[in-house]
Structure 1
Amino acid sequence: MTGMMDPFTYTFANSSDLKLPVAVKVSRLEGYEKSLPYSTLLKRPDLRHRGSNLSPNSELYITLQPFADSKPLTVHSQTPYKHFKNGRIWNQWLTLPVDYSTLPANTQLAITLWDLSPINPKGGDQGHHIPFGGTTIPLYDDNATLRTGRQKCRVWRHKAADGYSDTTTPWRERKRRGRGGREEETVVVDEKRSRREAELERLVGLMKKHEMGEIPENKWLDQMVFRQIEKLERQSVKDSTRPKHVSTNGNGTADDGHQNGDVAPLCAEGDPDHVDGSFFLYIEFPRFDHPIVFMDHEYPPPPVSTIQTPPSQTTAAVNFKPPPEVQLGPGIHSDAEGTTDTDGGGGDMMRIYDPEVGYADNPAETKHRRLIRGQRSALDRDLKPNPKMRDFLNRVMSYGPTVELSDKEKDEVWRFRHHLTRDKRALTKLVKSVNWLEPAESRQAIASLPKWAEIDVDDALELLGPSVQNPAVRAYAVDRLRKADDEELLLYLLQLVQALKFEPEHAKEDDDTDSSLASFLIARSAANLKLGNFLHWYLMVELDDEAPAQAEKNKRLFARVSYDFMKELEATPEGRARRKVLLRQAEFITVLSKISKEIRDSRGDRLRKIEQLKKMVADPKNDLLTFDPPLPLPLDPDIKITGAISAESNVFKSTLLPLYLSFKTSTPGETYSLIFKTGDDLRQDQLVVQIIALMDRLLRKENLDLKLTPYRILATATLAGTVQFIPSSPISTILSSPKYKGSILGYLRSHNPPATPDSPSVLGVAKEAMETYVKSVAGYCVITYLLGVGDRHLDNLLIAEDGRFFHIDFGYILGRDPKPLAPLMKLSREMVEGMGGSGGEEGSQFEVFRQYCFTAYTTLRRSSSLILNLFALMQDAGIPGLAVVGGGEGGSVGKVEERFKLDVGEAEAVALFGALIEREMGAWGAVVIDRLHGLTQGWRA
């Protein structure tokens, strides 16, 4: 099972996952038959030289071949020559050149035993092998479960296994059908024989349990039991040749066993191919840890947006002409008597799923669209919409990036494309409206690109997504990114690295050329240390051997981009210096990873681990005490560290034992602290913090500084990374501290008293600190709601001494939460009391908080396309949190989009958000979660 299945317990496996060749162990042949009478040998002299008539242990060989629908699936496999002494025992595994995963559910194995004869009865060049007998066994049982373990197969003498769907050589006799089609039950009068068969059945069942390890092994005793079971099996084979004394059918009447002709007599006098006797072949199938259930290839469902829902009968009757009468041909909708329903309305027509529905266009509609668009191409240039059509187009332009356009909308956007060139929002809609497989349309669309109004960055990111494959359109989007400065480009760099996966294949065929996006990223990153730093580490994470679900072609792509980036750095002296910096950073991260793993694997309590960490940091072998020249920190290249402070090293009390490290910087008297973790995937936290930093920039552009704290996170591998340490205190610690009287307001008063009695203050707190607290709480309430951040409790809500409130630990996003009754927004009673309460108390800042929330929500809502496009580019990044929701309708993008409430107006969206604040502030579910979490943490401590 994959890592995504770890939280669940599975008791079976799918055959489609079984990438192993089919194997069968041929054990032995048991049987008995009377010798041919002398009169028969006189009539057929060739029979006396047939191998099976010369010796009861004559040499036989076996062929094995899979069949399905009466057709062979591959070539047969054959046992090697073997000389038998005391019995026909092969104990030979036969392997077929076909995997279990590729076989259908009705696969049968045709097993034929071949005898040797000097004269082939068929004559000619047929060789000297004739069928001794055959048997056909299905690979799956009636419950579509793969057969495993020992199997006893009936051998049909003188017949080659046919492998037909209705085989004449079944591995066990079918139950006979009596009068009326009911199955008959045979009652054996021989009680001794009946008891012997029951005992044999019980022993065989116990032996299967022994083979599965359910019964302890005892070698000397097991061998005795196995020999006894073989004797009982041989006796059972001999008993099967004797006719049963009495049998009764379903009506209770006597039956001699051949009344219905279902089973032929075993002996036909004078026929050398029918002699009293019976043979059984014992084979063995491989065993697996779990039952293997057949699973066929499932075709993906057609896109919902392309399936047209048929109108109801009422609507059709009102808006359309009645359907024409259809005269059905003979045999259609015929009833049991063979008459034909010709009234046109009797019976339901059979509906058959067509995999092309939703993926292939209707040829008639395609031709109609091509003709219409071709005729209008010369007339569309001066076409202007009327007021009604202008409103229609404005509504289409307001659609978000996830909305699929209807055929009507596509046609109108194409018709007014020349008029829409002045609207920067319209380019992405035109790209969705063009049939890029039609050369004439493609040429016209590409020719209009230079005339278009300059698009925004969010539209450029949409054009770099997986749905756009035209190189000219992608190059146009990259040209728009060239106008962004390095700081803005850094905000989207994580997504742009993922967008490299969506470049057309032909753009990467030649070694001397590269995709437009890759060349752009390499050139800009080589010229800027900060961009180059993060491009390098983003590529290193994608090239990590432990990266889950990373396609091999993507790894080759990222390896090539990394190589080209290093090659570009080597071209200039400044680039060579930057490459040395990246190599020193890699050595630095390698040392920290080695120390972290040794600390985690070492024995002893936390205090002993802290002492061990301090010794390892101070050890000259690790080269952490001095960095000469100063090393730009991978987490923040603007910070240049000169050495570690071993005395301040610490190990956090957590399952993965993260390391706390402090470094001296090139600025005298300043230090920089970080947390280094191994064994934890930080890519999701890195994405969330990047989105928070982007939202902070968007809000600041509207002159709204909400005092956010987008601390830095950098994943250096799939399961390793660094986190900036911000000095702060969890709310749980503040509320339990007598120093602060168990309140956030007490904490703010303690650290931010008014400078003088005349200084401006609110509720006994310096005005600036209270503003910082209220703004940051409002900002994080809005952002965590939009991103669906879950698992919120008082331990991952922190406050710095200057009043900055912020969240940490983003392991659950997009509405996922490990606890029931989880709130949509984390706004606890303690947080509200920190701003003076919500009941209209004197000096309360709650109403100010609400206004900040509304302003932030509407501001971010206007930039929803940019945020949604960033998530769209990350859906295939292999981040677990995004992959869990990626299979649903809309995936991660849909989860974020539904919280923006883009389907309603701004006033209504604000009203809904205000109702959400009131509801979550008084929700009792969040209080219960906080109490339970506190009890759990106390119990662990």
Structure 2
Amino acid sequence: MEPFSFASSDQLNFPVSIRIINLDGAEAPLPFSTLLDHPELRHIGSNQSPYSDLYVTVQVWAGSKPLTVPVQTAYKAFRNERRWNEWLSLPVTYSTLPLNARLAITIWDVSPTGGEGAQGHAIPFGGTTLPLFDKHNQLYKGRQKCHVYRHRQADGNDDTKTPAFLPRKKSRDGGPEDHEADELDRMEKLFKKHEMGEIPRVDWLDQLVFRGFEKRGLQSKTSRVAPPKASRPDGDAGVDGAPGAPEPSAFLLNVELPRFDFPVVFADFEYPPPPVSSYLQASTSSVLKPPPEMHFGPGINPAGDDDDDGGGGDGGGGGGRLMRVYDPEVAAKDNPAESKHRRLVRGQHRNGILDKDLKPNAKVRDELNTIMAYSPTHTLSPEEKDLIWKFRHHLTRNKKALTKFVKSVNWQDQSEARQAAQMLGKWTDIDVDDALELLGPTFDNAAVRAFAVDRLRKADDQELMLYLLQLVQALKYEHISPQSGHDVSQDSSLARFLISRAVNSFTLGNYFYWYVMVECDDKSPEQSSDNQAIYGKVAYDYMTELVKQPGGEEARMTHKRQAELIAILSKISGEVKESGESMAKRTERVKHFLADPKNELVAIDPPLPLPIDPSVEIVGVVPEETLVFKSSLHPIKVTFKTSTGRKYPIIFKTGDDLRQDQLVIQIITLMDELLQKENLDLKLSPYKILATSTKDGLSQFVHSISFQSILNKYRNTPVLSYLRQNNPDSHGPLGMRKETLDTFVKSCAGYCVITYILGVGDRHLDNLLLTPDGHFFHADFGYILGRDPKPFAPPVKLSKEMVDGMGGAGTEHFRQFKQYCFLAYSALRKNCNLILNLFTLMVHANIPDIKADPDNAALKVKARFHLEMSEEDAIRHLERIIDVNLNALMPVVIDRLHELVQAFRA
């Protein structure tokens, strides 16, 4: 025997799918006399047109019971034929199907008067029941022609009255059917094999066969098939006049089932036999149990069920099920009726002048306040937009209403856009978070963006530094021409503003220069060449404007020297990473390179502002304090001597894109500023980090020790022992200085809340760090927004070692820690709009965890704020998370596994 390969259905974890192709066939129109006797038939779509709009529902049945809810096709308008050509996916997999599973396929017509078997305005046009497994227990695949039973809903029962496949008919004298029909059936089977690739293709011969079969099939139909019967008003066309006995109509529904490389044979999980006691108990009951009741979800009615019994209806007796028709043009094209309504409502000649005197009543004022409280990611409904437009003059005194007003304007309508632009000048001053929202990708109007830039002019350099990373990204949404020889300052008010501020502040200009340079260096497929050209023009205009300022030539030369320093460090870092030497030899190689006078790093004259922190001027390196870290990328630690005589260690890394870490550190720095404004100092110590290209970057080195190292060094209460050793005080709490314990408790609370909001993942004891004076902080932000390489990762990283460092879960210090968490969470929830807008501006920044799902990046952060809850409920929710994480076993297991893996790698 030849080898035969097949797959079992219990291993096919693939959803049951079917493609509804088209409906073939026609029937004679109803006689006019029938329409006179039954006037309700005139309202049925199929009685009005041979190509009326129909839709199809598919439901999986087994054992004469439905297994799933029905799934229906989208709305489609027909012209010359009823063709859907749509795949439907049902909420059940092949692995869970029983052998007697079948698809109940019903074609629905529409009639406002209802009729027999109607569900609301939907009445059955016809139905068919298609088994999923054949007589050989193999899964059907490929195209299938299903006979349609007019005016019947597919029953789906095991003894179905609407089978898709008919048994072979006998002739009237008892003999077999004529040879012509047999030949047609044989050819159809061969065509199916040819379509599935089981018969080799020969193009010229295939065309001859197709034409011959088509001609032969048409001749056979005209000779053998009787004229189709007209639709009967009572529903069923009986066989030989016997009412109630279903008969297939002249319609055929063409469907397609998924094809697989091998035959799929039914296989089921074999359950162990029940114990004997269950048989004895079952035999004592001679009374048959009633069939189980099926509870449908809200708005879902069983097939053929009315709402008169009050169960599962849409709110009333006799109303039937409300049929929702999907319109593919919704949200893609403007509804002409709505557009006309908007022009009438908002036209200046109608009521624009009167709008100035409109005042909302108490009810409308509450509605407006609710709209104003929406987050930046909320989508306004057309009714809400009309309400805002109506009371736009009243809302000019509300600074939070401007972004909602801009969203309610149809900027494609020139008259409306002109009125809206005039309204911008009357609005009160808005906050910075709203100005940042107006610079996002959804706001395209130049007047709106210029208005937002005017608000940013009032921010000082220190505040502007907090948002500079996002403002550089916002240049992608400006109308800047990528053509060379064109001044970007003329195209973009934002570019003009950033350049003017950068040339007047070297600190601001330093970061602006490096942020722009990284975008110029980004040649990934996600960033178009136009973006590189735009940022190249911005950098050129910045340098051109810089040299016009007093001392501008020196500033430009400083940028050049900084770039040379980065190039030298990148060269030695790349060599160390690629060499296969031992750690000691790598370190010696770097020390020798830095000490070589030819590289001009031992003495730097004149002093050079450090790119990562331009307030620090370096005068040389300390080669003997160089270190190469033991990791896959082998980053190097370089210690610089500063002009003040102090040392400034940094870590230079090659081969890694640090923009995601840079973003997280910037957000942490911003959150620290927001908490400070609320008089809440949580002793956060975000280290500085700067990406100098898409594969190089600097980060500040902070003298600290990881929790894993503390755990390896101290046996009992490791964190407490470490803090006591570095900050002893016999009279202080827990044997250490009070300031040290206070710093540890506050910094733990701050980082727990911030990492929870940002969804920081991959938290283990190696990236939880502690300084000798008690500052706790996180490092390595390779996973954010809820991503985590480890399963069952906790939303808040609160390790046992952290709690032990506070004295334990039942101490006053731990209760103080939770109180700091609640205060920080509450303060940051008040500023959630600013944080969400910053993430929205970064959606096209080519940051890995944002690029994975850019449309939902801000929504993931918003979900952590739980804005749908009151402040009290949100704090209770955070407390539950902390308590659950405190007693969870899985984080401890993950930490131990990580420790074992690291030990194995070492």
| TM bucket normalised to smaller | 0.5 to 0.7
Tell me which structure has the larger Cα radius of gyration.
Answer: 1
Contact 2:480 2:534 in 1 (8 A): no
TM-superposed deviation, 1:359 = 2.1
Q: Does 1:396 align with 2:380?
A: no
Give yes or no for the alignment of 1:903 onto 2:868. yes
Asked whether the 8 Å contact 2:836–2:862 carries over to 1, the reply is yes
- SS across alignment from 1:660: strand
Amino acid at match of 1:881: D
Could you tell me how far apart the structure 1 residues matched to 2:723 and 2:662 are?
29
Give the corresponding residue for 1:303: none
Inter-CA distance 903–435: structure 2 relative to 1 (3 Å threshold): same
Name the CA distance, whole Å, in 2 between partners of 1:626 and 1:600. Answer: 26
Cα deviations across residues 778-825 of structure 1 (Å, max 9, x unaligned)?
000000000000000000000000100000000000000000010000
CA deviation after TM superposition for structure 1 residue 351, in Å = 6.5
**Do the aligned partners of 1:410 and 1:433 also contact (CA within 8 Å) in 2?**
yes
Aligned counterparts of 1:801 and 1:707: Cα–Cα separation in 2? 14
Q: Distance in 2 between matches of 1:507 and 1:430?
A: 31
Of 651, 654, 660, the match for 2:628: 651
| CA contact 1:495–1:870 (8 Å) conserved in 2 | yes
Match of 2:843 in 1: 875
Please list, as runs of the form range in 1=range in 2, the aligned pairs for 1:388-787 lying within 5 A after superposition. Answer: 388-504=363-479, 511-512=486-487, 513-668=490-645, 670-738=646-714, 741=716, 743-754=718-729, 761-787=732-758
Checking the alignment, whether the CA contact within 8 Å between 2:640 and 2:648 is kept in structure 1 is yes
Residue of 374, 377, 387 corresponding to 2:352: 377
* Counterpart in the other structure of 1:190: none
SS at match of 2:512: helix
In structure 2, the CA distance between the partners of 1:463 and 1:612, relative to structure 1 (3 Å rule), is same
1:438-467: CA deviation from partner (whole Å, max 9, x where unpaired)? 122212211121221110000000000111
Contact 1:525 1:532 in 2 (8 A): yes
Residue 508 of structure 1, CA deviation = 8.5
Q: 2:757–2:865: 8 Å Cα contact kept in structure 1?
A: yes
Cα contact 2:798–2:885 (8 A) shared by 1: yes
Query: Where does residue 181 of structure 1 map in the other structure?
Result: 185
| Structure 2 residue 837 is the aligned partner of structure 1 residue 864 | no
Q: Any conservation in 1 of the 2:761–2:793 contact (CA below 8 Å)?
A: yes
Report if aligned partners of 2:482, 2:533 keep a CA contact under 8 Å in 1: no
Find the aligned partners of 1:322 and 1:667 in 2 and give their Cα distance. 87
Match of 1:939?
Answer: 904
Give the Å deviation of 1:317. Answer: 9.9
Contact 2:657 2:696 (C-alpha < 8 Å) held by counterparts: yes
Specify which of 787, 792, 813 is matched with residue 763 of structure 2: 792
The aligned residue for residue 820 of structure 1 is: 791
Quote the Cα distance in structure 2 between the aligned partners of 1:497 and 1:609: 37
1: CA distance between counterparts of 2:775 and 2:324?
66
Mapping for residues 346-361 of structure 1, pairs under 5 Å: 354=328, 356-361=329-334
For the residue of structure 2 that corresponds to 1:455, the secondary structure is: coil
Q: CA deviation at 1:184?
A: 10
Bigger mean CA deviation after superposition, 824-833 or 506-515: 506-515
What one-letter code is carried by the residue in structure 2 that aligns with 1:589? I
1: distance between equivalents of 2:858 and 2:483? 29
1:801 lines up with 2:766 in the alignment: no
SS in 2 for 1:815: coil
Q: Deviations over 1:161-187 (max 9, x none)?
A: xxxxxxxxxxxxxxx99524214999x
CA–CA distance in 2 between the matches of 1:802 and 1:545? 40
Contact 1:769/1:802 (<8 A) preserved: yes
Task: Answer yes or no: is the 8 Å Cα contact 2:562–2:610 preserved in 1.
Answer: yes
Distance of aligned partners of 1:350 and 1:831 in 2 relative to their CA distance in 1, 3 Å threshold: closer
CA contact (8 A) 1:708 1:780 kept: yes
- TM-superposed CA distance for 1:881, in Å, is 1.2
Structure 1 residues 931-940 or 508-517, which shifts more? Answer: 508-517
Give the Cα separation in 2 of the matches to 1:663 and 1:318: 74
Given that residues 640 and 666 in structure 1 are in contact (C-alpha distance below 8 angstroms), is that contact kept between their aligned partners in structure 2?
yes
TM-score w.r.t. the length of structure 2 is 0.65
**Structure 1 spans left out of the alignment, 5+ residues:** 1-104, 106-141, 145-175, 187-204, 206-239, 241-256, 263-308, 324-344
Q: Report the Cα distance in structure 1 between the residues aligned to 2:394 and 2:862, rounded to whole angstroms.
A: 29
What is the rounded CA distance, in whole Å, between the counterparts of 1:415 and 1:829 in structure 2? 57
> Structure 2 vs 1, CA of residues 783 and 350 (structure 1 numbering), >3 Å: closer, same or farther?
closer
Give the structure 1 partner of residue 859 of structure 2: 894
| Residues 82-108 of structure 1: per-residue CA shift (max 9 Å, x gap) | xxxxxxxxxxxxxxxxxxxxxxx9xxx
In 1, Cα distance between equivalents of 2:839 and 2:638: 32
Question: Quick one: which of 310, 320, 339 aligns to 1:366?
Answer: 339
8 Å CA contact retained: 2:482, 2:530: no
CA distance in structure 2 between the partners assigned to 1:438 and 1:185 by the alignment: 59
Cross-structure match for 1:884:
852
CA drift at 1:681: 1.0
Whether the 8 Å contact between 1:495 and 1:873 is mirrored in structure 2 is: yes
Deviations 1:235-275 (A, max 9, x none): xxxxx9xxxxxxxxxxxxxxxx99x989xxxxxxxxxxxxx
SS of the residue 1:632 aligns to = strand
8 Å contact from structure 2 (residues 761, 786) kept in 1: yes
**SS of the residue 1:874 aligns to:** coil
Q: Deviation of residue 385 (structure 1)?
A: 0.8
1:853 alignment counterpart: 821
Shift of 1:574: 1.4
Contact 1:464 1:474 (8 Å CA) reproduced: yes
- Is it true that 1:834 corresponds to 2:805 in the alignment? yes
> Residues 640 and 321 from structure 1, CA distance in 2 versus in 1: closer, same or farther, beyond 3 angstroms?
farther
Residue pair 2:591, 2:624 contacting (<8 A) in 1 also: yes
User: What percent identity do the matched residue pairs reach?
Assistant: 53
Residues 710, 508 of structure 1: CA spacing in aligned structure 2 closer, same or farther, 3 A cutoff?
Answer: farther
CA contact (8 A) 1:507 1:514 kept: no
Query: Residues of 1 paired with 2:454 and 2:373: CA distance?
Result: 24
Kept in 2: contact 1:547–1:718 (CA 8 A): no
Q: Using a 3 Å threshold, how does the CA distance of structure 1 residues 633 and 816 change in structure 2: closer, same or farther?
A: same
3-state secondary structure, aligned to 2:538: helix
Q: Does the Cα contact within 8 Å between 1:658 and 1:675 map onto a contact in 2?
A: yes
CA RMSD of aligned residues (A): 3.5
Provide the rounded CA distance (Å) in 2 between the counterparts of 1:479 and 1:185.
73
- TM norm structure 1: 0.63
For 2:753 and 2:450, the matched residues in 1 are separated by: 35
Aligned pairs (5 A) from 1:80-95: none
Choose 628-637 or 741-750, whichever is displaced more: 741-750
Change (3 A) 1:933 1:319: closer
User: How many residues are matched?
Assistant: 627
Q: How do 1:183-262 and structure 2 match up within 5 A?
A: 183=187
1:874 shift after superposition: 0.2
| Paired residues of 2:522 and 2:532 also in contact (CA < 8 A) | no
State the SS of the aligned residue for 1:917. helix
Amino acid at match of 1:376: N
Aligned mates of 2:216, 2:367 — CA distance in 1: 77
* Structure 1 position 511, deviation (Å): 2.0
